[in-house]
Amino acid sequence: MAARLTHPIYAPYRRWLQRFDGWPTHAQLSAWATEAGVVTASGRPVRFVPPAPAVGAYELQVHETGKVPTRAENWHDLFNALAWLAFPRTKAALNALHAAEIPREGGRRGRLRDMLTIFDEGGAIAVCGDPALEELIRGHRWRELFWDSRARVLEALRLLVAGHAVLDKARDPWPGITCKAIFVDTSSDPDAAAASWLHAHAQGGTPRLLAPLPVFGYPGWLPQTDDPAFYDNERFFRPPGAGEAHAAVR
């Protein structure tokens, strides 16, 4: 199984992927969480368990018990578990913010939880040491970013994909797969910094705070990235003002 997951997008998960011997069991995933000291913001040790009939909201159950329902031999749920292992503070922050917001919503999800869900499913942490590169991303200036500035990108921009739906889709890499990114400084721990970003933007949080980023334009992530004409394809690299439809995973 691990041989299928050698693409650089899976680099944050390598230490666990190398331990795969077929599908990891709930017990194996939970043991890895124990090794890594993964806990919810409420202090509950995270454990991965078979799904059971829902009693209350999913995020509240996870926050209150630490038990993460995980379907056996299911890629989407497996990548969710791996995201907990690789980015425990970020996942705990997402879960805690959901849990705090649900009682206030009266059954109608608001923009904050939209933002949290979009990042949870399709988020990337852009570790960026060059403000000019962030400006190019926010301006949807893809050819300038990935081709004209590719040496600077390789030196100063690292993409850590935390969204488990994107990780699932990336098993079949496709240029149109797009993440929603938050930016953190190179001097900080990316996981801690992403968690801090989420808490700092909880007041007034909205999906518009997340930057669309076609991650498979990153140099070397697809063979096509060696051709400058690749970045002229507006189906994958939408220009400024093209709307938010490009935010979809695929």
pLDDT tens, 105-130? 877 888 999 999 999 999 999 999 99
Please give the Cα distance from 89 to 40 (Å, whole number): 8
Taking Cα atoms as reference points, which of 159, 38, 47 lies closest to residue 90? Answer: 38
**Is the pLDDT at 205 greater than 90, yes or no?**
yes
In terms of pLDDT, which residue wins out, 249 or 34?
34
Overall average pLDDT of the 186-191 stretch = 95
* Whether pLDDT at 244 is above 50: no
Q: What is the pLDDT of residue 3?
A: 57
pTM of the model: 0.93
When pLDDT is averaged across residues 88-97 and rounded to a whole number, the result is 98
* pLDDT on residue 248: 35
Task: Over range 31-55, report the average pLDDT.
Answer: 94
| Span 64-78, average pLDDT | 97
Per-residue tokens: 96: 């805690």
Q: Residue 68: exposed, middle, or buried by beta-carbon count in 10 A (0-12, 13-18, 19+)?
A: buried
pLDDT in the model for residue 2: 61
Are 27 and 60 in contact by the 8 Å Cβ rule? The answer is no
Confidence of residue 249 (pLDDT cuts 50, 70, 90): very low
Q: Give kind and range of the element (H or E) at residue 231.
A: none
Please give the average per-residue pLDDT across 121-147, as a whole number: 97
Cα–Cα dist 206/54, whole Å:
27
Other Cβ atoms less than 10 A from the Cβ of 35: the count is 10
Look at residue 1 in the predicted model and tell me its pLDDT: 62
Tell me the Ramachandran region of residue 167: left when phi exceeds 0, alpha when psi lies from -120 to 50, beta otherwise. Answer: alpha
The tokens for 158 are: 């690292």
